[in-house]
Amino acid sequence: MRLFTALWPSPEAVEHLAAAIDGLPPGRVTEVSAGLRKFRFTPAERWHLTLRFHGDDADAARVTERLDRRVARLRADPPRLRLAGAGSFRGVLWVGVLPEAGPDERALRELVGAAGGDPRSFRAHLTVARWAGGRARGESVAALLEGYRGPRWTAEEITVVASDLREGAPRYTAVHRAPVTRG
């Protein structure tokens, strides 16, 4: 089963970012995405912060047992996060996920470790658009949202998610939820 472990932003954070994207001038989106094949924004219901991709053949029972053990040993309070800024890498426009303060940064890194990820190489982001290839002309596509700053939210649960790619666009199903509380 194709699994990943993720944090989902609060409904308020999602609504705020969705409103910002909906408010982008269509001409500006067309201008900065010119030359990119199949540029499209991802649906808000799929916006998540991947902490660890477990692979196509992951064992859901093993992943959830390990996650529960590790989450039970967390030392930090749940992190306070904010969606802010933007960037891009090959085929992806992302919005950054920023911890509010130093303790929140440590708590987020702890969650990455609990999910089985590498906290040192982790770069917190949320994918908001994709494209199939090509090169943008002129201004970077990241300029669309580089000044974005959303409301603060607290990561209250960590979710193991199954991803089904058979019908074109990915379909996500929560396999397991673990509350993020101080151990």
Give the DSSP per-residue string, 48-77.
-EEEEEEETT--HHHHHHHHHHHHHT--SP
pLDDT at 137 over 90: no
Report the pLDDT value the prediction gives residue 81, as an integer from 0 to 100: 97
> Edge to edge, what strands does the sheet with 92-99 contain?
40-41, 125-130, 92-99, 80-89, 149-154
pTM of the model: 0.91
Q: From CA 22, how far away is CA 16, in angstroms rounded? A: 10
Report the pLDDT value the prediction gives residue 80, as an integer from 0 to 100: 97
Which of 16, 54, 125, 176 is catalytic? The answer is 125
Q: pLDDT tens digit string along 22-75?
A: 999 999 999 999 889 899 999 999 999 999 999 889 999 999 999 999 999 988
Q: Round the average pLDDT of the chain to a whole number and report it.
A: 92
Give the DSSP per-residue string, 127-162.
EEEE-SEE---SS-GGGGTTT-EEEEEE--EEEEEE
The domain that contains 102 carries what CATH number?
3.90.1140.10
pLDDT at 113 over 80: yes
Report the pLDDT value the prediction gives residue 138, as an integer from 0 to 100: 59
- Say whether 48 is catalytic: yes
pLDDT at 183 over 60: no
> What percent of the chain lies above the pLDDT cut of 70?
96
> What percent of the chain lies above the pLDDT cut of 90?
80
pLDDT at 90 over 90: no
pLDDT at 168 over 80: no
Q: From CA 177, how far away is CA 156, in angstroms rounded? A: 10
Q: In a 3-state reduction of DSSP, which class is residue 121?
A: coil
Domain, as residue range, for 93: 3-179
Q: From CA 135, how far away is CA 91, in angstroms rounded? A: 10
Number of domains in the chain: 1
Contact between 129 and 25 (Cβ < 8 Å):
no
pLDDT at 95 over 80: yes
CA angle 14, 17, 22 (to 5 degrees): 120
- Say whether 176 is catalytic: no
Which of 16, 48, 54, 176 is catalytic? The answer is 48
